Amino acid sequence: MSDTQGGAPVADGPGPGGEGTARPVLVINAGSSSLKYQLVLADSGRSLATGLVERIGLEDGRATHTVDGEKHVLEQDIPDHTAAFEVLTAQFRDHGPDLQEAAPVAIGHRVVHGGAKFASTVLIDEEVLKTLRRLVPLAPLHNPGNIAGIEVALETFPDLPQVAVFDTAFHQTMPPAAYTYAIPLSWRQTFNIRSYGFHGTSHAYVSRRTAALLGKPLEDTNLVVLHLGNGSSACAVRGGQSVDTSMGLSPLGGLVMGTRPGDLDPGLPAHMSRVSGMTLPEFDHALNKESGLKALAGSSDFREVMELRASGDADAQLAFDVVVHRLVRHLGALALVLGRLDAVAFTAGIGENSPPLRAAVLERAALLGIQLDEQANADARGETRISTSDSAVAAFVVPTNEEWEIALEATKLLATT
């Protein structure tokens, strides 16, 4: 039974039911230099194997494959995505489960940017691939790796249906007032410049779980989901639909992240060019790789920043304060956008694992009607309510599960085609 009383861990699992004899989905998250995968049962979310192929195209490639808690490591050169998929199939062949026997029903690819073209999961065909290639300018750091993964997966598994699940699709329900930038019409029309939002599979999964934990139908629930990892975004979800989010055109905007700054004054690029002669590619690199926690505290890893802060490091303290301030500002704004708030959910690496960060944000959210249960927050493991039982607005920790969401999306699409 669900127990959403203040402080009590919520006991029942998120799955819709038992595993039966359902076939798994092979979920693929291909980046430019890495390939993450998971063989997952869509009905229960049970993972049969997870793996990571790293340093594709660099020296000293490395692959890990984990089955039943046992990790198998392989070190060899992995020159390209074709070699990465050979490693993937070799890992399954050598360490199981046997892919022939497991008989995945589909491959689900995570794709970062679907532009305004893809508002939902799609079956991949030549036409879809062409559109994805056209969308590369919108996500030059992410989509090429995703596409390379899809191309090789189509060659490696020609008989399996393959679907693309987009980080942006969940946010296609945002109204024009939320996604439109006040910039010249020609930019918006010719180059599709607007806010798109990211982390959609996580926001979708966590909203559904949070409504279930509240014991309310998703359609009647208003939530703010705070996805806080290396990349972070906040999302206002009304009745299961995204109505606003902190990230915009690219994954740079909004909250302060590991190496990305979040919101900035739009005058900054021109100013830096004038005062330092910095070029746009240099600026782009600095904002993608050298900003955020890394710039403020010397480490992009929040856990390390918290250790530095605990040792009295003033830069780490400032970094923490900036992160919290930005979160409070976005949480307040999104609550007003929603008009009525039922719950706030914390998820991803930082959201799930940092009680001090959650406490610092929620202590400043009393205006919204949230009363933190300090003990529950400190002890939170898995899905946990961290607000008191008389808190007008609830707060939860909800571990995200993007792979399961992608597997669910894939099976849902296959059931309708």
Binding residues among 254-273 for ligand ADP as defined by CB under 6 A: 258
User: Near ligand ADP by CB under 6 A, which window of 146-154, 234-242, 302-310, 362-370?
Assistant: 302-310
Query: Is residue 54 part of the contact set for ligand ADP (CB under 6 A)?
Result: no
The answer to whether 384 and 184 are in contact (CB under 8 A) is no
Residue facing ligand ADP at closest CB distance? 349
The residue among 336, 352, 338, 339 whose CA lies nearest residue 396 is: 352
| β-pair type (162-166, 106-111) | parallel
User: Near ligand ADP by CB under 6 A, which window of 11-19, 110-118, 166-174, 349-357?
Assistant: 349-357
**In sequence order, what E strands does 278-400 have?**
343-347, 384-385, 394-397
Total site size for ligand ADP, rule CB under 6 A: 13
Structural element, H or E, at residue 352: helix 348-353
Task: Return the number of the residue (165 or 350) whose C-beta is nearest ligand ADP.
Answer: 350
Q: Which two tokens stand for residue 112?
A: 């970062």
Query: Is residue 349 part of the contact set for ligand ADP (CB under 6 A)?
Result: yes
Residue 232 C-beta: closest distance to ligand ADP, Å? 8
Residue 188 C-beta: closest distance to ligand ADP, Å? 29
The answer to whether 99 and 37 are in contact (CB under 8 A) is no
Task: Return the number of the residue (128 or 361) whose C-beta is nearest ligand ADP.
Answer: 361
Task: Return the number of the residue (210 or 354) whose C-beta is nearest ligand ADP.
Answer: 354
With CB under 6 A as the contact rule, the residue among 40, 223, 234, 306 that binds ligand ADP is 306
| Residue 20 backbone class (left: φ over 0; alpha: ψ -120 to 50; beta: rest) | left
Residue 216 C-beta: closest distance to ligand ADP, Å? 26
Query: Is residue 301 part of the contact set for ligand ADP (CB under 6 A)?
Result: yes
Residue 300 C-beta: closest distance to ligand ADP, Å? 7
- CA 332 vs. chain centroid, Å, equals 21
Q: Which residues, in sequence order, are CB contacts of 39 under 8 Å at separation 6+?
A: 24, 25, 26, 27, 47, 48, 49, 50, 92, 97, 99, 102, 104
Q: Is 167 a catalytic residue?
A: yes
Task: Return the number of the residue (143 or 354) whose C-beta is nearest ligand ADP.
Answer: 354
How many CA atoms are closer than 13 Å to the CA of 40, on its beta-carbon side? Answer: 27
**Which positions are catalytic?**
167
Binding site for ligand ADP (CB under 6 A): 229-231, 258, 301-303, 306, 348-350, 353-354
